[in-house]
Amino acid sequence: MKQALTLAIVLLVCPLVFSKSQEVFHPSCSWVTHKMTFYKEIQGHNCSSEPIDVFKCTGMCASNINPRVIDRKPPPDQTSYKHLFSQNCQCCQPDQDNYIQNKSILYYCVLPNGEKYSTPAMTMIANPTKCACQPC
């Protein structure tokens, strides 16, 4: 019962979250669900869209998030895919009163030809105080 309720909530809420920015996707993209995990189907390739927590600092470190591509073992019923995700970058002083932490959930997909597509990031900002950053 809980699983059914959770699935219903996901199916109702997620389209609302992503519907405004569908234009960023490749024209052949479509959303499909699989075992409560979202997948983006691009040109016949099912690419993982697992939620990844990405921590980004503001200021001088904002652009120092280094993405990297790794091969991941696909589910038994899915074709192989590559998953692009951003490394964690903690460049500010670890003082809760003296830094801004952006927590974003990003979904990326990489086509076999190297093209990358991503969803909009959902960002929550905690401790909106002055940031004291250092190089990442």
Is residue 136 situated within a structural domain?
no
The per-residue pLDDT for range 78-129, each reduced to its tens digit, is 333 222 222 223 333 333 333 333 333 334 444 556 555 544 433 333 333 3
Please compute the mean of the pLDDT values over residues 13-21 and round it to a whole number.
Answer: 37
pLDDT computed for residue 127 by the predictor: 33
Alpha-carbon distances of 11 from 37, 41, 48, 121, 122, rounded to whole Å: 11, 17, 17, 18, 17
* Domain presence at residue 45: yes
Residue 37: HSE in the Cβ half-sphere, 13 Å Cα cutoff: 14
132 domain residue, yes or no: no
How many domains is the chain built from?
A: 1
Distance separating alpha carbons of residues 112 and 81, to the nearest angstrom: 8
Question: Given a cut of 50, is residue 50 above it in pLDDT?
Answer: no
Reported as a pLDDT band with limits 50, 70 and 90, residue 133 is: very low
Rounded Cα–Cα distance for residues 39 and 50 (Å): 8
Structural domain includes residue 32: yes
Considering the domain boundaries, does residue 107 fall inside one? yes
Domain region containing 29: 2-126
Q: Name the band, by pLDDT with cuts 50, 70 and 90, for residue 4.
A: low
Coil vs helix vs strand at 57: coil
Q: Would 87 be classed as within a structural domain? A: yes
- Domain contains 86: yes
Q: Within a domain: residue 131?
A: no
State the CB neighbour count (10 A cutoff) for residue 125.
11
Q: Quote the pTM value.
A: 0.17
pLDDT tops 50 at residue 69 = no
